[in-house]
A = this chain, B = another copy of it.
Amino acid sequence: MKIEGYTCSQCGQEYKESLLQRCQNCQGVLEPLYSEKKISRAIFSSQGENMWAFRDVLPIRLDDHIVTLGEGITPLILSSRLGEKIGIERLWLKLETVNPTGTFKDRGLSVAMSYAVEHGAKGVIGASSGNALHAQAAYAASAGVPSVALVPENVPQTRLCQPIVTGTKIFRIRGNYSKSHELASILSRKVGWYNTSTTYENPIVPEGYKTVSYEISQQLKTSPDWVVIPVGAGPLLAACARGFTELYENGLVSKIPAMLGIQPNGCAPIARAFAQQKSDVTAWEEPIETNARGIADPLRGYSQDGTYTLKWVHYTAGAMVAVSDKAIAQAGKLLAEVSGVYAEPSAAASVAGVTEALRLGLIDPSSLVVCLITGSGFKENTTFGSPSVPTEIFESEKNVLDWLVNQSRT
């Protein structure tokens, strides 16, 4: 597959330019346009240690331009104990936590930074409040490309340590994420730096995410019934759906799995439209009330992005569900306790979501389900409402011994 430009998913306009953001006619989401769409079965025999094992379906022409830190080829583990607890016979976890900066965003930034290098971008500029910022900072440093990040005013200081150390220039911007997002788009156009924001603002980023579907197909050796994905604006879900579609159209998988998108109750514009059986998503104008910050996107000013995601949900015969923060906390705790996987709230949302979808009868208990665990809990250090961390200090072995002896009795 060779990239030739882009097609607008909304109006069909084609573009030959390289570092584009959106359709210049209608502001629609751009999709990469490939000249050759044939994918051979050989793609699954690659023995790569990172997602560039699938470079044949990625939009980079020269190997020299690849910027990699070893992203992808993440673990896919069967968690029978978790499955038993929530009532799914075959529940697999795709651990995107095991990526260079701890989230799936690394896949997107690896491709976008490679693309920036291949097309001679002067620098990159991105809006983010967390995980995408870490990925941008890491890959820009690795590539030696100047990097600027715009972050909402309320981002915790600890989130900014890694970008500072890697040399990304940070500007805190008054207002919520939408403001930083808008500014990145304006400034990118004005100074010609490549916008690597991981919304649909960058049409190359999702190409990296797409490799998740290739890996699942390779690792499972079959198609799952459901793939469960936390959703903000939805590029990860759309990219996975597109990846499975590419595979299906080339006869390499037997079916396209249904996508189950999960949003938090406190900011769920796409799940709301799904529930109301509307094809057009409208922005979330209510207050944003959730701890799952990574998927709290109100889509204000770009609600067409939600509509685009919703189309992919329907295309795969999937569904969208919304979950409470309480359900997310319970799921995060359960995931850690029985699987040993420590996720951030936005990632634990997928486990909460599959539980909710079961309850609603959307998913059958006998389904083969893959939950994407999108980001590591170590970057937030949430306790998911657990009893607080102990502060009492013990002087001798006695207290511990009592507890241990008591434990062995029970």
Contact = CB atoms under 8 A, between A and B. Distances in A.
Interface in A82-139: 95, 97-102, 122-123, 125, 134, 137-139
Interface in A223-238: none
A77 B50 CA distance: 11
Interface stretch (A18-26, A198-206, A303-311, A391-399): A391-399
User: Could you say how many copies of this chain the assembly holds?
Assistant: 2
A406 B167 CA distance: 17
A360 interface: no
Contacts of A333: 165
Contact of A392 (B95, B172, B187, B376): B172
Contact of A141 (B76, B164, B187, B340): B340
A interface, size bucket = 35 or more
A158 interface: yes
Contact of A337 (B74, B166, B336, B376): B166
Given A150-B400, A183-B400, A161 B393 contact: no
A10 interface: no
5 contacts: A68-B75, A141-B336, A148-B403, A165-B383, A165-B384
Interface of A: 47, 49-50, 68-70, 73-77, 81, 95, 97-102, 122-123, 125, 134, 137-144, 146, 148, 150, 153, 157-158, 160-162, 164-167, 169-174, 183, 186-187, 190-191, 193, 219, 332-333, 336-342, 376-379, 381-384, 386-387, 389-395, 397, 399-401, 403-405, 407-408
Given A164-B386, A169-B407, 11 more contacts: A69-B340, A70-B76, A70-B77, A70-B98, A102-B102, A157-B389, A160-B390, A164-B389, A165-B382, A172-B391, A378-B378
